[in-house]
Chains A and B, each alone.
Chain A
Amino acid sequence: MYESLLNFPGGLLAEFERLQRELQQEFANLGRPGSIRALASGAFPTLNVGSTPAALEVYAFAPGLDPAKLDIQIDHGLLSISGERESAQPPDNGTLSVYANERFAGRFKRTVNLSKDADPDKVEATYRNGVLHIKVARQESAQPKRISIQ
C-alpha cells in the first residue's frame, strides 16, 4: 500500500541516475590510495582523516550513538573506535511493516593507522551532530620549527 513512499520522484529514470551517482562515488575512490584498513563502502562509521602540522584529525561519521558507550583506544600507533548501535526498529505488535532497513545496527570497530609522530598522550575526542572528532597531536619534536640564522 505504501510502496510509493520508497519510489523516487521521476520514476525509473531518476532511479538510474541515483545508481549512476552511487557508482561514481564508488569509483571516485580508485584514484587515490586508500588505507589498508579502509573497508568497502557501507562500513560503519565512515571515516575521514586529515592532517595539519600540529595534529592528525580523524572524523567518524557515527550518528545516533551514546558517546559514553564509545570505546576509543590507541595501541601501537593504531587508533581504534568501537561500540554498538542499536536497531531503531519499534517493537512489532503484529501491525508493523518494514519497508527499508538500510541503517547500520550492531557492533562495529574501525581502525586507523596513525603516523609515527602521533602523540598517544595528547588525544581529544568530541562528539557533535553525530560526528566523532578525534584529534591526535603530533609530538613536539616533530613539529616544524623555524631556524634562525645567527
Chain B
Amino acid sequence: MTAKTEVSRSERLEEAQTLLPLVDVFEDKDGILLIADMPGVPKDKLELRVEHDTLLIEGEIAPDTPDKMEAVYAEVRLSRYRRAFSLSSELDTARIDAQLRDGVLTLRIPRHAYVQPRKIEVRVG
C-alpha cells in the first residue's frame, strides 16, 4: 500500500517536471491534424503512445552542450516534453501517421472509414 503511494508520487513528480509542447490542432473531413513544437528532440528520443483513448506525446531534448559550459540564462529549463490528449472513438488510432522534422511533430489521425461523412438517402415509404 505504502509502496504503491510512493510510486504514484514519484510518477507525479516526474510529470511535474516536463515542458508542455505548444500545439496546433485542426480538423477537416478526413480527420485530425496535430502539430506540436518539440525543438531539440531527435527522432530516437520521441515517443508516441496510444493507450485506450489517450494519445501521449513524449520527447527528450538531446543535449548538445560543450563541456564546462555555465548557463548565463535559460528560458528552456527542462529537457523533457510531455502532453496527453484524449481521443474520441471515431478516430482510427491504428492509422496515425507521424512525421518529425526540424523539431516539429506532425500527426495525422484519420477517422475510421465507416464514420466518414456520407449522404443518407431518404426512401419514400
Q: List residues of chain A with CB under 8 Å of any chain B CB.
A: 1-2, 4-9, 17-18, 21-22, 24-25, 28-29, 32-35, 38, 41, 43, 45-53, 55-57, 59, 61-65, 88-90, 93, 95-104, 127-131, 133
B73, A130: Cβ atoms under 8 Å? no
What chain A residues lie within 8 Å of B23 (beta carbons)? 100, 102-103
Could you say which of B16, B18, B71, B75 contacts A46, with CB atoms under 8 Å apart? B75
B75, A48: Cβ atoms under 8 Å? yes
B42, A129: Cβ atoms under 8 Å? yes
B88, A1: Cβ atoms under 8 Å? yes
What chain A residues lie within 8 Å of B18 (beta carbons)? 21
Could you say which of A7, A41, A53, A63 contacts B102, with CB atoms under 8 Å apart? A63
A51, B70: Cβ atoms under 8 Å? yes
What chain A residues lie within 8 Å of B50 (beta carbons)? none
- The contact string, 1 if C-beta is below 8 Å from chain A, for chain B 27-70, is 11100110101111110000000000010000000101111111
B104, A64: Cβ atoms under 8 Å? yes
- What are the 9 tightest A-B residue pairs by CB atom distance, in nearest-first order? A130-B103, A63-B103, A130-B39, A61-B39, A64-B104, A63-B39, A99-B25, A100-B25, A102-B22
In chain B, positions 58-97 with a C-beta closer than 8 Å to chain A are: 62, 64-78, 84-88
A34, B73: Cβ atoms under 8 Å? yes
